[in-house]
Structures are given as C-alpha cells and as structure tokens.
Amino acid sequence: MLTVPADGPPIAGEQDALDLIGDAFGEQAEMVVIPVERLGPGFFRLSTRLAGEITQKFVNYRLRLVVMGDIAAHVAGSTALRDYVYEANQGSHLWFVADEAELAGRLG
C-alpha cells in the first residue's frame, strides 16, 4: 500500500494520477491511499469529471484507490456525490474512508 502524504501539491488531473500510479508500481503497491487534503475541490464536483478520470486511471492499471478523510461537507452539498461515494464503497476499486481505522476494518 502506498500512502500519499497529506502535504504536497494537489492531485488535480490525469497526469498527477499517472505519476502516483508510477510511484505505486515502484513500491509494488496494489493500493494507493490519498488524503482528502491532496484532492482539489474539482474532484468532489462530479460535473468536472475529474473524479471519474482519476479513478479510471487506477482501474485501468488494476490499482485500488482509497480517498481518506472527512468529506462530509462535500457530500452534504451534493446528492450526486453522496450516491457516488455510496456506490464506490460497495465495490473494491474505489473506497472513501474517514481514517486509518476504517480502512483497516475494510481490509479485514
């Protein structure tokens, strides 16, 4: 598992996702954990398509993506995002978790 530090430049596009994928392959990681702080607000506005584009890159390379942190404010402002998070958390490619404890519980 590759955990991205909370401080650093925002992950704001497909090239940033590809850079992380390269880092994950270098670490032989099968999962990448990105703190909410590293994602720009565009990620949480589904109309930008950024969340889908980034997620699709990870799926294409058979890597699991975890967004970790408090997204309550984003979800409260968007029914579509709430539904997206719910559906993502039902699968295995993309999870939204509040913290490391929740991730550990999901990994079992």
SS3 content of the chain, % helix, strand, coil (to 5): 55, 15, 30
Rounded mean pLDDT, 52-81: 94
How high is the pLDDT of residue 108?
87
Tell me: pLDDT of 40 over 90.
no
Tell me: pLDDT of 3 over 90.
yes
Question: Model confidence over 17-28: pLDDT tens digits?
Answer: 999 999 999 999
**Burial of 61 per CB tally in 10 Å (0-12, 13-18, 19+):** middle
Contact of 70 with 96, CB cutoff 8 Å = no
Tell me: pLDDT of 70 over 90.
yes
Closest CA to 32 of 68, 8, 1: 1
The neighbouring-strand residues paired with 34 are 67
